[in-house]
Amino acid sequence: MQGDTAVTELCAAIERVGRWRAADVVIVGRGGGSREDLWAFNNERLARTIAACPLPTISAVGHEVDITICDLVADARAATPSAAAETVVRDDAELRAELRGVGARLRRGLTKRVDNAKAELQWQASALRNRLTLKAERGRARMERLGGKLHALSPLATLSRGYAVARGMDGHALTSAGDFQVEMPFNLLLRDGTVHARTMKPERE
Amino acid sequence: MSFEQRLKRLEQIVSELESEQVPLDRALALFEEGVACLRTAAEELGKVEAKVQRLVERADGSFEVTDLRE
């Protein structure tokens, strides 16, 4: 940037970028050259234009030793235009690391959701299992209690004490002498088996 | 007849046998029915228990959700 028109052109360019608003940052740079060129950057009008710019500004005008007014009014100062660009653009490795971090968080979140669902499923399965087992156990307990009662009430229990039950061929109990006729076949139920018998002579008392 | 219905019938039989008035004839018939009822119920329950056992074993073995970590 050299010559008398430098200030006017610089101001116009900065204002244009400011109006455009699509830029993230404005870098005011100078490629190098004689010491007199720097005077354009000590111009008051340019300094005011930079200060008024609605976007963040970086001044990359001189070298380490050449500080201009532009350097002082800009939001940041860089030694060279390249250095200014490096400040603005984020490091590739840094970006990658951040992406990896986000990826890891996403994965952790998903894994957690799946783990939770898995735990819930297993809990439900064991609840179902317990309920089924409990139902079967209760059924068995009730059945065994009834079986015990039934056997305690067995009309055949007396047989073990030496009694016998006489039953007709149709299975009906013969409990009276009047139930028997001469030569009538019947069964005698005993402790350890049945005796097939025939009436000889019924006698009523 | 379901398992529960059989147990209900068994309860009726037991309570009828418990009343002193039941004649020997009736008592014998009830007892025989009760024994048959009990035997069938025990068989059915055994089958159900075996089925539950199989389901439980399968549930234990196959409840592996594929891991998304890798």
Q: What string of pLDDT tens digits covers the 205 residues of chain A? A: 455 678 888 888 889 988 887 888 888 887 666 666 677 788 888 889 988 999 889 888 866 667 788 888 888 888 888 888 888 887 888 889 999 999 999 999 999 999 999 999 888 888 888 888 899 999 999 999 999 999 888 888 878 888 898 999 988 889 889 999 999 999 999 988 999 999 998 888 7
Mutate which: A121, A133, A137, A153, vs B, most B CBs within 10 A:
A153
CB-count exposure of residue A78 (10 Å: 0-12, 13-18, 19+): buried
Closest residue of chain B to A110, computed from CA coordinates: B68
Give the whole-angstrom CA distance, residue A25 versus residue A61: 16
Which of A140, A155, A167 is facing B45, going by the closest CB pair?
A: A140
The distance of A151 to chain B (nearest Cα, Å) reads 8
Contacts of B55 in chain A (CB under 8 A): 129, 132
What pTM did the predictor assign?
0.50
- Chain B contacts in chain A segment 80-119 (CB below 8 A): 107, 110-111, 114, 117-118
Tell me what ipTM this predicted complex has: 0.77
Apex A73 CA angle, A69 and A76, nearest 5: 110
Q: Is A152 on the interface with B (CB under 8 A)?
A: no
Site of tokens 């009523």 = A204
